[in-house]
Amino acid sequence: MAEPTTIVRTARSRWRRVALIAGGVLVALFIVLQGVALALPRTNPPVVAEPNWDSPQTRELFMRACGDCHSNQTNWRWYTYVAPAAFLAYRDVTEGRQKCNVSEWGVGGERKCDESVEQIQEGKMPPWFYLPLHPEANLSAQEKQQLIQGLIATFGEGGEGGERRNRQAAPEQENGEEEGSTSMTVAFRGS
């Protein structure tokens, strides 16, 4: 028969062992993930061609709020080298460039850029989780309006995407609808 104090001591040392093992597993896991994170290709391919920006200001606003994920001029900050943030950043930049890349204009990068105004108006872009670490991307209402006006002027009013959406939403008006006005973009918010 063990003394009560011995029982308590044994139980305590068992927990300590479990905690040590769990901690060790976590550290090992982090080291493995961190190794993978460091191996990610954080590339900035050459800038092939940019849109014909309507003004330097539009470009400046776009690069400030969107450029990290929608251009080949990503600022890979220190935390994009640290797991798990590295994986999120890598995925965002990869997917963002696939959807719209202003550094590969006319060679496929323009793909969905014409939906930018809609994305901004709906508050989907830039993504909310990006803003706390990038306060400069948190545009004021006035800057947002300037960017929207600039993007309409640069990417064309409504653009291909606008016409496409228009056709899906109202096929019978295909010919009657005036092409790509700003109000059209607004009218199809939330579709």
120 is a site residue for ligand HEC (CB under 6 A) = yes
Q: How does 112-127 read in b/e, with b if 16+ C-beta sit within 10 Å? A: bbbbbbbbbeeeebbe
Tell me which residues in 44-83 interact with ligand HEC (CB under 6 A).
65-66, 68-70
CB of 32 to ligand HEC, least distance (A): 25
**The token pair that represents 189 in the structure block:** 């918010």
* Residue nearer to ligand HEC on the CB measure, 120 or 184: 120
Q: Peptide bond preceding 4: is omega within 30 degrees of 0, i.e. cis?
A: no
CB of 145 to ligand HEC, least distance (A): 12
Dist. CA 48–CA 39, nearest whole Å: 26
Dist. CA 141–CA 137, nearest whole Å: 12
* Residue nearer to ligand HEC on the CB measure, 6 or 73: 73
Query: Which residue among 59, 115, 155, 185 contacts ligand HEC (CB under 6 A)?
Result: 115
108 is a site residue for ligand HEC (CB under 6 A) = no
123 is a site residue for ligand HEC (CB under 6 A) = no
Say how many residues touch ligand HEC, by CB under 6 A. Answer: 20
Query: Which residue among 125, 148, 152, 184 contacts ligand HEC (CB under 6 A)?
Result: 125
CB of 49 to ligand HEC, least distance (A): 18
- Helix, strand, coil % over all residues of the chain, rounded to 5: 60, 0, 35
42 is a site residue for ligand HEC (CB under 6 A) = no
Count of other CB atoms within 10 angstroms of residue 157: 16
Beta strands, E only, the chain:
none
* Residue nearer to ligand HEC on the CB measure, 59 or 70: 70
Is 159 strand, coil or helix?
helix
Contacts of 5 (CB under 8 A, 6+ apart): none
116 is a site residue for ligand HEC (CB under 6 A) = yes
Cα–Cα distances in angstroms (integers) from residue 160 to residues 20, 67, 77, 110, 149, in the given order: 59, 22, 34, 11, 17
Query: Which residue among 72, 74, 119, 185 contacts ligand HEC (CB under 6 A)?
Result: 119
Rule CB under 6 A: which residues touch ligand HEC? 65-66, 68-70, 92, 95-96, 99-100, 112-113, 115-116, 119-120, 125-127, 130
